[in-house]
Amino acid sequence: MPGLLLDTLGGAMPAVPPVWLMRQAGRYLPEYRELRAEKGGFLELVYDTEAAAEVTVQPIRRFGFDGAILFSDILIVPYAMGQDLAFLAGEGPKLSPTLVDHALEGLEAVPERLTPIYDTVARVRSLLSPDTTLLGFAGSPWTVATYMIAGEGSRDQHDARAMAYRDPAAVQAICDAVGNVTIEYLSGQIEAGAEAVQLFDSWAGSLAPDEFERWVIAPNARIVEALRGRHPDTPVIGFPKGAGEKLPSYARETGVQAIGVDETLDPVWVAGNLPEGMPVQGNLDPLLLLAGSDRLEPRIDAIREAFAGRPHIFNLGHGIDRRTPIAHVERLLAAVRKRG
Protein backbone atom coordinates (compact mmCIF):
# COMPACT_ATOMS: atom_id res chain seq x y z
CA MET A 1 0.00 0.00 0.00
CA PRO A 2 2.22 2.83 -1.22
CA GLY A 3 -0.21 5.63 -0.33
CA LEU A 4 -2.30 8.18 -2.14
CA LEU A 5 0.50 10.67 -2.75
CA LEU A 6 2.94 8.21 -4.28
CA ASP A 7 0.12 6.66 -6.34
CA THR A 8 -0.76 10.10 -7.67
CA LEU A 9 2.85 10.83 -8.60
CA GLY A 10 2.64 7.56 -10.52
CA GLY A 11 -0.41 8.74 -12.47
CA ALA A 12 -3.39 7.75 -10.29
CA MET A 13 -6.39 10.11 -10.11
CA PRO A 14 -8.13 9.37 -6.80
CA ALA A 15 -11.53 11.01 -6.18
CA VAL A 16 -10.03 12.97 -3.29
CA PRO A 17 -6.55 14.36 -4.00
CA PRO A 18 -3.63 13.72 -1.65
CA VAL A 19 -2.55 16.82 0.29
CA TRP A 20 0.54 18.17 2.03
CA LEU A 21 1.78 21.73 2.54
CA MET A 22 5.16 23.20 1.79
CA ARG A 23 6.82 24.20 5.11
CA GLN A 24 4.24 22.12 6.97
CA ALA A 25 6.81 21.46 9.71
CA GLY A 26 7.46 24.83 11.24
CA ARG A 27 6.64 27.85 13.29
CA TYR A 28 2.84 27.95 12.86
CA LEU A 29 2.77 24.79 15.04
CA PRO A 30 3.07 25.32 18.84
CA GLU A 31 4.68 21.87 19.21
CA TYR A 32 7.39 22.94 16.72
CA ARG A 33 8.06 26.21 18.54
CA GLU A 34 8.38 24.34 21.81
CA LEU A 35 10.95 21.82 20.53
CA ARG A 36 12.82 24.56 18.63
CA ALA A 37 13.15 26.62 21.84
CA GLU A 38 14.32 23.55 23.76
CA LYS A 39 17.05 22.78 21.19
CA GLY A 40 18.17 26.40 21.03
CA GLY A 41 18.49 26.90 17.28
CA PHE A 42 17.43 25.76 13.84
CA LEU A 43 20.67 23.92 13.00
CA GLU A 44 20.69 22.25 16.42
CA LEU A 45 17.23 20.93 15.57
CA VAL A 46 18.25 19.77 12.07
CA TYR A 47 21.31 17.88 13.38
CA ASP A 48 19.49 16.18 16.27
CA THR A 49 18.17 13.03 14.55
CA GLU A 50 15.42 12.31 17.08
CA ALA A 51 14.25 15.92 17.24
CA ALA A 52 14.34 16.43 13.46
CA ALA A 53 12.38 13.21 12.95
CA GLU A 54 9.86 14.32 15.57
CA VAL A 55 9.39 17.71 13.88
CA THR A 56 8.90 16.00 10.51
CA VAL A 57 6.15 13.83 11.95
CA GLN A 58 4.38 16.56 14.01
CA PRO A 59 2.17 17.83 11.16
CA ILE A 60 1.28 14.25 10.15
CA ARG A 61 0.13 13.45 13.66
CA ARG A 62 -1.92 16.62 13.93
CA PHE A 63 -3.46 16.77 10.45
CA GLY A 64 -2.94 13.38 8.79
CA PHE A 65 -1.33 14.84 5.66
CA ASP A 66 -0.62 12.30 2.91
CA GLY A 67 3.04 13.24 2.73
CA ALA A 68 5.77 14.07 5.23
CA ILE A 69 8.65 16.27 4.10
CA LEU A 70 12.04 15.76 5.66
CA PHE A 71 12.88 18.48 8.16
CA SER A 72 16.08 20.11 6.96
CA ASP A 73 16.92 23.10 4.76
CA ILE A 74 18.13 23.79 1.23
CA LEU A 75 21.17 25.58 2.72
CA ILE A 76 22.59 22.35 4.17
CA VAL A 77 24.18 21.83 0.72
CA PRO A 78 26.31 25.03 0.84
CA TYR A 79 27.14 24.14 4.44
CA ALA A 80 28.45 20.76 3.22
CA MET A 81 30.34 22.56 0.45
CA GLY A 82 32.28 24.40 3.15
CA GLN A 83 30.48 27.70 3.76
CA ASP A 84 29.65 28.61 7.34
CA LEU A 85 25.91 28.72 7.99
CA ALA A 86 24.02 30.54 10.71
CA PHE A 87 20.33 31.19 11.21
CA LEU A 88 20.12 34.47 13.08
CA ALA A 89 16.91 35.39 14.87
CA GLY A 90 14.90 37.85 12.80
CA GLU A 91 17.58 38.09 10.09
CA GLY A 92 17.27 34.84 8.16
CA PRO A 93 20.15 32.62 7.09
CA LYS A 94 23.74 33.86 6.62
CA LEU A 95 26.41 32.03 4.59
CA SER A 96 30.07 32.99 4.67
CA PRO A 97 32.35 33.66 2.98
CA THR A 98 30.16 35.06 0.21
CA LEU A 99 31.08 33.94 -3.31
CA VAL A 100 30.72 37.33 -5.01
CA ASP A 101 34.46 37.98 -5.33
CA HIS A 102 36.16 34.58 -5.23
CA ALA A 103 33.58 32.08 -6.44
CA LEU A 104 34.45 28.63 -5.04
CA GLU A 105 38.12 29.39 -4.38
CA GLY A 106 39.17 28.36 -0.90
CA LEU A 107 36.02 26.39 0.01
CA GLU A 108 36.71 22.96 1.47
CA ALA A 109 33.94 20.40 1.32
CA VAL A 110 32.65 18.91 4.59
CA PRO A 111 30.62 15.90 3.40
CA GLU A 112 30.00 14.75 7.00
CA ARG A 113 27.48 17.58 7.19
CA LEU A 114 25.16 15.55 4.93
CA THR A 115 25.30 12.11 6.53
CA PRO A 116 23.24 12.92 9.67
CA ILE A 117 20.38 13.96 7.39
CA TYR A 118 20.17 10.41 6.02
CA ASP A 119 19.76 9.12 9.58
CA THR A 120 16.80 11.48 9.99
CA VAL A 121 15.21 10.13 6.79
CA ALA A 122 15.56 6.54 8.01
CA ARG A 123 14.23 7.44 11.45
CA VAL A 124 11.20 9.25 9.97
CA ARG A 125 10.43 6.31 7.69
CA SER A 126 10.38 4.02 10.72
CA LEU A 127 7.87 6.33 12.47
CA LEU A 128 5.45 6.78 9.55
CA SER A 129 2.69 4.43 8.51
CA PRO A 130 3.30 2.85 5.09
CA ASP A 131 0.61 4.94 3.41
CA THR A 132 2.25 8.27 4.32
CA THR A 133 4.71 9.19 1.58
CA LEU A 134 8.11 10.44 2.72
CA LEU A 135 9.46 13.28 0.58
CA GLY A 136 13.10 14.26 0.44
CA PHE A 137 14.19 17.56 -1.04
CA ALA A 138 16.98 19.88 -2.07
CA GLY A 139 17.27 23.35 -3.52
CA SER A 140 17.96 23.70 -7.23
CA PRO A 141 21.41 24.99 -8.20
CA TRP A 142 20.33 28.50 -9.21
CA THR A 143 18.33 29.11 -6.02
CA VAL A 144 21.10 27.72 -3.81
CA ALA A 145 23.68 29.75 -5.75
CA THR A 146 21.77 33.00 -5.10
CA TYR A 147 22.24 32.45 -1.35
CA MET A 148 25.85 31.26 -1.70
CA ILE A 149 26.84 34.27 -3.81
CA ALA A 150 25.16 36.98 -1.71
CA GLY A 151 25.62 35.20 1.62
CA GLU A 152 21.96 35.82 2.45
CA GLY A 153 18.52 36.14 0.98
CA SER A 154 17.82 39.25 -1.06
CA ARG A 155 14.73 40.81 -2.54
CA ASP A 156 15.65 40.41 -6.21
CA GLN A 157 18.74 38.13 -6.17
CA HIS A 158 20.68 41.14 -7.43
CA ASP A 159 24.23 39.83 -6.71
CA ALA A 160 23.76 36.46 -8.39
CA ARG A 161 21.92 37.87 -11.41
CA ALA A 162 24.61 40.48 -11.99
CA MET A 163 27.39 37.93 -11.52
CA ALA A 164 25.71 35.61 -14.04
CA TYR A 165 26.18 38.35 -16.70
CA ARG A 166 29.60 39.55 -15.51
CA ASP A 167 31.24 36.16 -14.96
CA PRO A 168 29.04 33.36 -16.30
CA ALA A 169 31.88 30.83 -16.09
CA ALA A 170 32.15 31.36 -12.32
CA VAL A 171 28.38 31.03 -11.83
CA GLN A 172 28.40 27.94 -14.05
CA ALA A 173 31.11 26.42 -11.84
CA ILE A 174 29.04 27.16 -8.72
CA CYS A 175 25.88 25.67 -10.24
CA ASP A 176 27.78 22.59 -11.46
CA ALA A 177 29.30 22.05 -8.02
CA VAL A 178 25.94 22.50 -6.28
CA GLY A 179 24.40 20.11 -8.82
CA ASN A 180 27.02 17.43 -8.13
CA VAL A 181 26.51 17.60 -4.36
CA THR A 182 22.73 17.66 -4.85
CA ILE A 183 22.79 14.46 -6.92
CA GLU A 184 24.69 12.69 -4.12
CA TYR A 185 22.53 14.25 -1.42
CA LEU A 186 19.21 13.27 -3.02
CA SER A 187 20.52 9.78 -3.81
CA GLY A 188 21.48 9.46 -0.15
CA GLN A 189 18.00 10.53 0.93
CA ILE A 190 16.39 8.05 -1.46
CA GLU A 191 18.64 5.22 -0.27
CA ALA A 192 17.69 6.09 3.33
CA GLY A 193 13.95 5.87 2.56
CA ALA A 194 12.68 8.98 0.74
CA GLU A 195 10.04 7.79 -1.76
CA ALA A 196 9.96 10.95 -3.89
CA VAL A 197 12.05 14.12 -3.93
CA GLN A 198 11.27 17.75 -4.62
CA LEU A 199 13.64 20.28 -6.19
CA PHE A 200 12.88 23.78 -4.85
CA ASP A 201 13.80 26.46 -7.38
CA SER A 202 12.34 29.30 -5.35
CA TRP A 203 14.09 32.03 -7.33
CA ALA A 204 13.57 30.63 -10.84
CA GLY A 205 11.25 33.58 -11.46
CA SER A 206 13.89 36.28 -11.14
CA LEU A 207 15.66 35.39 -14.40
CA ALA A 208 15.33 36.98 -17.82
CA PRO A 209 13.99 34.53 -20.45
CA ASP A 210 17.32 33.68 -22.10
CA GLU A 211 18.90 33.16 -18.66
CA PHE A 212 16.15 30.78 -17.55
CA GLU A 213 17.27 28.07 -19.96
CA ARG A 214 20.86 28.15 -18.71
CA TRP A 215 20.36 28.54 -14.97
CA VAL A 216 17.05 26.79 -14.37
CA ILE A 217 16.25 24.25 -17.08
CA ALA A 218 19.75 22.88 -17.76
CA PRO A 219 20.87 22.36 -14.11
CA ASN A 220 17.55 20.77 -13.10
CA ALA A 221 17.60 18.52 -16.19
CA ARG A 222 21.10 17.33 -15.28
CA ILE A 223 20.02 16.39 -11.74
CA VAL A 224 16.87 14.64 -12.94
CA GLU A 225 18.82 12.63 -15.51
CA ALA A 226 21.41 11.50 -12.94
CA LEU A 227 18.71 10.49 -10.45
CA ARG A 228 16.82 8.64 -13.19
CA GLY A 229 19.96 6.60 -13.85
CA ARG A 230 20.42 5.68 -10.20
CA HIS A 231 16.84 5.53 -8.92
CA PRO A 232 14.56 5.08 -11.93
CA ASP A 233 11.44 4.47 -9.79
CA THR A 234 11.69 7.54 -7.56
CA PRO A 235 9.63 10.48 -8.86
CA VAL A 236 11.10 13.98 -8.89
CA ILE A 237 8.79 16.97 -8.33
CA GLY A 238 10.17 20.17 -9.84
CA PHE A 239 9.04 23.47 -8.30
CA PRO A 240 10.21 26.39 -10.42
CA LYS A 241 8.55 29.17 -8.44
CA GLY A 242 7.75 32.21 -10.52
CA ALA A 243 8.39 30.42 -13.85
CA GLY A 244 5.19 31.93 -15.26
CA GLU A 245 4.73 31.28 -18.97
CA LYS A 246 7.99 29.27 -18.94
CA LEU A 247 6.38 26.54 -16.80
CA PRO A 248 5.42 24.32 -19.78
CA SER A 249 8.94 24.37 -21.22
CA TYR A 250 10.36 23.59 -17.77
CA ALA A 251 7.94 20.66 -17.56
CA ARG A 252 8.89 19.30 -20.99
CA GLU A 253 12.63 19.92 -20.94
CA THR A 254 13.79 19.02 -17.42
CA GLY A 255 12.40 15.47 -17.35
CA VAL A 256 10.68 15.94 -13.96
CA GLN A 257 7.84 13.51 -13.26
CA ALA A 258 5.61 16.11 -11.57
CA ILE A 259 5.47 19.86 -11.28
CA GLY A 260 4.76 22.28 -8.45
CA VAL A 261 2.79 25.40 -9.38
CA ASP A 262 2.89 28.68 -7.46
CA GLU A 263 -0.15 30.84 -6.71
CA THR A 264 0.47 33.40 -9.46
CA LEU A 265 -0.71 31.07 -12.24
CA ASP A 266 -4.31 30.35 -13.17
CA PRO A 267 -4.76 26.59 -12.69
CA VAL A 268 -7.04 26.44 -15.74
CA TRP A 269 -4.19 27.82 -17.88
CA VAL A 270 -1.71 25.45 -16.23
CA ALA A 271 -3.97 22.44 -16.82
CA GLY A 272 -4.30 23.38 -20.47
CA ASN A 273 -0.62 23.95 -21.10
CA LEU A 274 1.23 21.11 -19.35
CA PRO A 275 1.96 17.77 -21.02
CA GLU A 276 -1.08 15.51 -20.82
CA GLY A 277 -1.15 13.31 -17.72
CA MET A 278 1.68 15.08 -15.93
CA PRO A 279 0.92 15.25 -12.18
CA VAL A 280 0.61 18.79 -10.79
CA GLN A 281 1.01 20.03 -7.25
CA GLY A 282 -0.35 23.30 -5.92
CA ASN A 283 -1.48 26.07 -6.07
CA LEU A 284 -3.45 27.74 -3.26
CA ASP A 285 -2.17 31.16 -2.21
CA PRO A 286 -0.63 30.76 1.29
CA LEU A 287 -1.91 34.24 2.13
CA LEU A 288 -5.51 33.22 1.44
CA LEU A 289 -4.94 30.37 3.91
CA LEU A 290 -3.47 32.87 6.37
CA ALA A 291 -6.42 35.25 5.96
CA GLY A 292 -8.96 32.44 5.99
CA SER A 293 -11.63 34.59 4.38
CA ASP A 294 -14.84 33.15 2.97
CA ARG A 295 -13.01 32.88 -0.36
CA LEU A 296 -10.92 29.97 0.96
CA GLU A 297 -13.30 27.08 0.24
CA PRO A 298 -14.46 28.35 -3.20
CA ARG A 299 -10.82 28.77 -4.23
CA ILE A 300 -9.97 25.22 -3.09
CA ASP A 301 -12.95 23.92 -5.10
CA ALA A 302 -11.81 25.89 -8.16
CA ILE A 303 -8.27 24.45 -7.96
CA ARG A 304 -9.60 20.91 -7.59
CA GLU A 305 -11.90 21.41 -10.54
CA ALA A 306 -9.19 22.90 -12.75
CA PHE A 307 -6.88 19.96 -12.10
CA ALA A 308 -9.57 17.25 -12.19
CA GLY A 309 -8.36 15.99 -15.58
CA ARG A 310 -4.90 15.00 -14.41
CA PRO A 311 -3.20 13.61 -11.30
CA HIS A 312 -3.28 16.39 -8.68
CA ILE A 313 -1.56 16.76 -5.32
CA PHE A 314 -3.18 19.54 -3.35
CA ASN A 315 -0.66 22.00 -1.88
CA LEU A 316 0.00 25.70 -1.48
CA GLY A 317 1.74 27.82 -4.09
CA HIS A 318 4.58 28.41 -1.62
CA GLY A 319 5.37 27.70 2.05
CA ILE A 320 2.74 28.17 4.74
CA ASP A 321 3.07 31.51 6.53
CA ARG A 322 4.22 31.28 10.15
CA ARG A 323 1.20 33.26 11.40
CA THR A 324 -1.37 30.88 9.87
CA PRO A 325 -4.01 29.77 12.40
CA ILE A 326 -4.31 25.99 12.91
CA ALA A 327 -8.07 26.32 12.37
CA HIS A 328 -7.49 27.53 8.81
CA VAL A 329 -5.39 24.44 8.04
CA GLU A 330 -8.25 22.32 9.38
CA ARG A 331 -10.67 24.15 7.07
CA LEU A 332 -8.34 23.50 4.14
CA LEU A 333 -8.22 19.78 4.88
CA ALA A 334 -11.98 19.52 5.21
CA ALA A 335 -12.46 21.27 1.86
CA VAL A 336 -9.79 19.27 0.03
CA ARG A 337 -11.12 15.97 1.34
CA LYS A 338 -14.77 16.74 0.64
CA ARG A 339 -16.05 14.42 -2.07
CA GLY A 340 -16.91 16.31 -5.23
> Active-site residue 36, yes or no?
yes
Tell me the DSSP string of 77-126: HHHHTT-EEEEETTTEEEEES-STTTTTTT----GGGTHHHHHHHHHHHH
Nearest residue to 284 via CA among 335, 249, 327: 335
Site for ligand CP3 (CB under 6 A): which residue of 12, 13, 27, 228? Answer: 27
* The one segment of 25-33, 96-104, 257-265, 292-300 that binds ligand CP3 by CB under 6 A: 25-33
Among the listed residues 72, 66, 63, the one whose alpha carbon sits nearest the alpha carbon of residue 123: 72
69 binds ligand CP3 (CB under 6 A): yes
DSSP state, residue 111: G
Asked whether position 137 contacts ligand CP3 by CB under 6 A, the answer is: yes
Does residue 281 sit in helix, strand or coil?
A: strand
Among 24, 172, 206, 220, binds ligand CP3 (CB under 6 A): 24
Q: Applying CB under 6 A, does 206 fall inside the site for ligand CP3?
A: no
154 labeled binding residue: no
Least Å distance, CB 45 to ligand CP3, is 7
Q: Which stretch binds ligand CP3 (CB under 6 A): 65-73, 97-105, 229-237, 286-294?
A: 65-73
| Residue 73 is a catalytic residue | yes
Torsion on CA atoms 60, 132, 69, 233, rounded to nearest 10: 180
Q: Are 199 and 175 in contact (CB under 8 A)?
A: no
Choose between 10 and 319: whose C-beta lies nearer to ligand CP3.
319
Residue 61 is a catalytic residue: no
Whether the Cβ atoms of residue 57 and residue 20 lie closer than 8 Å to each other: no
Answer yes or no: is 58 a known binding residue. Answer: no
123 flagged as catalytic: no
Rounded to an integer, what is the distance from CA 319 to the centroid of its chain? Answer: 9
Binding residues (CB under 6 A) for ligand CP3: these are 22-27, 36, 42, 69, 71-75, 87, 92-93, 137, 139, 153, 200, 202, 319
Active site positions, annotated: 23, 27, 36, 73, 147
